[in-house]
């Protein structure tokens, strides 16, 4: 059975997801000793600006500029509005070159080998349900249920899946939900019209479980640890990272917090970009 | 600002950082307690360790135990399972203890954040 990590990178005007994917692939190689393949709509950019050998396979998809606009924050005081190109996650089942795939967001910083446990699991589909926000000051209700009256929330940030007939049905269902997003967001009473993969994956689980809770999927090992884009990744040295997490009700003020040997989903893509630039510079 | 309040707020800031760092250590500890056996995920708890010990004490060599997903898993070698979860518990707990002791020594926000744990 072939095993590997899959990452999607589709740049917009402000965020270089390909650079994040390069950084992720290096960490995957270091901590998990697994190959990483990239799905991108600009393969030329990968080969012309970076060392493409960090990737096992470069999988091209069609360039699509359909607008799905949202704000990207860089700490509490700065933000930019740009296109959120998140419509390709549903096709990963068809595009993955692996029998066992760990699908990761490009802004996930790996600092340990915890994800290797996924490949030991007897469940063919694993997602995170439980999460831990580093600042511990925000209301995380939005990461418990997809809406006040909706189903439970599951993260599409890290998904482990094996090729199986049932998983094929699941990913095809996600495509259908994405195609009919306006219908499903009303059905599940989601107020924002922004398409979010977390919601589509959660709704699909709810449907696959017979519109109830059940054992259609298993939970990823541990909790998903994250900072929001209103927090800042300040420094990274090997597996130690220092963050500035926003003080509640004090805009622009932060507490410092550090982690060591802990993998973290860094939603502040600008601060992650700065750290990656430093690392690439140090590598020469 | 009143000096008494200033001192209290300084300490308050220190405590927030201390509690945040402690929470990070606890999350790491929880991750370290995860054990996979025949593809099933078990979080090692004192209850699980004691339950296995009780079964072994009454001469059971195998058992059915629910995993983290509430699925029944056949433990065909209970002794080996018990030894492994005990090892995981001690390793994770010792690491948590050592890191917590190191954390507790620091009396400044900078020290708490710069400590290499």
- Over residues A249-284, the pLDDT tens digits come to 888 899 999 999 999 999 999 999 999 999 888 876
CB contact under 8 A, B17 and A257: yes
CB contact under 8 A, B36 and A258: no
Q: Which domains does chain A have, with CATH numbers?
A: 3-283 (3.90.550)
Supply the pTM of this predicted model. 0.92
pLDDT for B109 equals 84
Quickly list DSSP for B52-115: HHHHHHTT---EEEE-TTS-EEEES-HHHHHHHHHHHHHHHHHHHHHHHHHHHT--SHHHHHHS
Beta strands in chain A (DSSP E): 3-9, 36-40, 58-60, 69-73, 79-83, 100-104, 108-109, 125-128, 131-133, 155-162, 218-219, 224-227, 232-237, 240-246, 254-260, 264-266
Answer whether B23's CB lies under 8 Å from B117's CB.
no
Phi, psi of A156 (to 5 degrees): -95, 5
Q: What is the DSSP letter of A11?
A: -
Identify from B12, B15, B24, B34 which residue to disrupt to test chain A contact, counting A C-beta atoms within 10 A and taking the largest count.
B24
Query: Any idea which of A31-40, A135-144, A180-189, B18-27 has the lowest mean pLDDT?
Result: A135-144
CB contact under 8 A, A255 and B17: yes
pLDDT tens-place string over residues B53-99: 999 999 999 999 999 989 999 999 999 999 999 999 999 999 999 99
pLDDT for A188 equals 95
Bridge partner residues of A8 (DSSP): A39
Residue numbers in A near B23 (CB within 8 A): 132, 136
| Rounded Cα–Cα distance for residues B45 and A39 (Å) | 40
- Per-residue confidence at B117, pLDDT binned at 50, 70, 90? low
User: A261 vs chain B: nearest CA distance in angstroms?
Assistant: 8
| Element (DSSP H or E) covering residue A123 | none
User: A120 vs chain B: nearest CA distance in angstroms?
Assistant: 5
- Per-residue confidence at B6, pLDDT binned at 50, 70, 90? confident
pLDDT for B114 equals 80
pLDDT tens-place string over residues A159-176: 999 999 999 999 999 999
Residues 147-186 of A with CB under 8 A from B: none
- Per-residue confidence at A142, pLDDT binned at 50, 70, 90? confident
Residue numbers in A near B72 (CB within 8 A): none
Residue from the list A117, A225, A259 with its beta carbon closest to the beta carbon of B34: A117
Residue numbers in A near B114 (CB within 8 A): 258
User: B68 vs chain A: nearest CA distance in angstroms?
Assistant: 8
CA of residue B80 relative to chain centroid, distance: 21
Q: Taking 90 as the threshold, does the pLDDT of residue A197 lie above it?
A: yes
Identify from A217, A223, A239, A258 which residue to disrupt to test chain B contact, counting B C-beta atoms within 10 A and taking the largest count.
A258
pLDDT for B3 equals 85
pLDDT for A198 equals 95
Average pLDDT, chain A: 93
How many other C-beta atoms can be found within 10 angstroms of the C-beta atom of residue A7?
Answer: 26
pLDDT tens-place string over residues B31-53: 999 999 999 999 999 999 999 99
Comparison of pLDDT for A25 and A249, the residue scoring more: A25
Residue from the list A120, A218, A262 with its beta carbon closest to the beta carbon of B28: A262
CB contact under 8 A, B28 and A219: no
Alpha helices for A15-106 (secondary structure H): 17-31, 43-49, 92-95
Residues 203-242 of A with CB under 8 A from B: 215, 218-219, 221-223, 225, 240, 242
CB pairs under 8 A between A and B: 72
B113 and chain A in contact, CB less than 8 A: yes
Residue numbers in B near A114 (CB within 8 A): 31
pLDDT tens-place string over residues A50-109: 999 999 999 999 888 777 788 999 998 999 888 888 888 889 999 999 999 999 999 999
CB contact under 8 A, B71 and A257: no
pLDDT for A245 equals 93
User: A234 vs chain B: nearest CA distance in angstroms?
Assistant: 12
pLDDT tens-place string over residues A7-17: 999 999 899 99
For range A218-244, the mean pLDDT: 95
B76 and chain A in contact, CB less than 8 A: no
| Rounded Cα–Cα distance for residues B61 and B80 (Å) | 10
Using DSSP bridges, classify how beta strands A100-104 and A108-109 pair: parallel, antiparallel or unpaired: unpaired
pLDDT for B79 equals 97
Residue from the list B38, B39, B41 with its beta carbon closest to the beta carbon of A221: B41
Q: What is the DSSP letter of A44?
A: H
B24 and chain A in contact, CB less than 8 A: yes
pLDDT for A284 equals 67
């Amino acid at each position: 059975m072939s095993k590997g990590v899959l990452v999607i990178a589709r740049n917009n005007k402000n965020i270089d997801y390909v650079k994040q994917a390069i950084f992720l692939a290096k960490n995957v190689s270091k901590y998990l000793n697994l190959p990483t393949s990239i799905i991108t709509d600009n393969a030329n950019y990968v080969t012309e600006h970076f060392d493409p050998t960090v990737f096992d396979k470069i999988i091209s998809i069609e360039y699509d500029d359909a607008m799905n606009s949202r704000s990207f924050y860089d700490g509490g005081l700065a933000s930019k509005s740009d296109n959120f190109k998140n419509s390709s996650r549903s096709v990963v089942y068809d595009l993955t070159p692996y029998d066992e795939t760990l699908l990761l967001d490009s802004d996930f910083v790996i600092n340990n080998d915890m994800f290797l446990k996924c490949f030991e699991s007897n469940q063919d589909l694993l997602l995170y349900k439980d999460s831990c926000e580093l600042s511990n000051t925000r209301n995380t209700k939005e990461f418990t249920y997809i809406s006040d009256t909706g189903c439970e929330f599951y993260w599409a940030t890290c998904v482990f899946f094996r090729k199986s007939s049932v998983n094929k049905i699941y990913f095809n269902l996600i495509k259908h939900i994405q195609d009919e997003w306006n219908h499903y967001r009303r059905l599940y009473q989601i107020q924002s019209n922004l398409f979010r993969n977390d919601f589509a994956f959660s709704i699909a689980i709810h449907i696959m479980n017979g519109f109830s809770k059940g054992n259609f999927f298993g939970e990823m090992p541990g909790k998903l640890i994250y900072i929001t884009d209103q927090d800042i990744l300040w420094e990274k040295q090997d597996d130690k990272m220092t963050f500035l997490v926003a003080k509640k009700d004090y805009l622009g003020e932060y507490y410092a917090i550090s982690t060591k040997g802990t993998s973290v989903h860094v939603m502040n893509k600008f601060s992650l970009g700065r750290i990656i630039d430093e690392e690439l510079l140090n590598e020469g | 600002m009143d000096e008494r309040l200033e001192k209290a707020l300084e300490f308050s800031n220190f405590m927030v950082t201390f509690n945040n760092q402690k929470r990070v250590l606890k999350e790491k500890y929880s991750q370290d307690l995860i054990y996979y056996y025949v593809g099933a995920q078990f979080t090692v708890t004192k209850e699980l360790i004691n339950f296995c010990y009780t079964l072994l004490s009454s001469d059971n060599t195998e058992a059915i135990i629910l995993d983290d997903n509430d699925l029944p898993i056949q433990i065909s070698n209970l002794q080996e399972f018990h030894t492994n979860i005990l090892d995981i518990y001690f390793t994770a707990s010792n690491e948590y203890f050592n890191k917590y002791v190191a954390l507790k020594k620091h009396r400044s926000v900078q020290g708490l954040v710069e400590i290499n744990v």
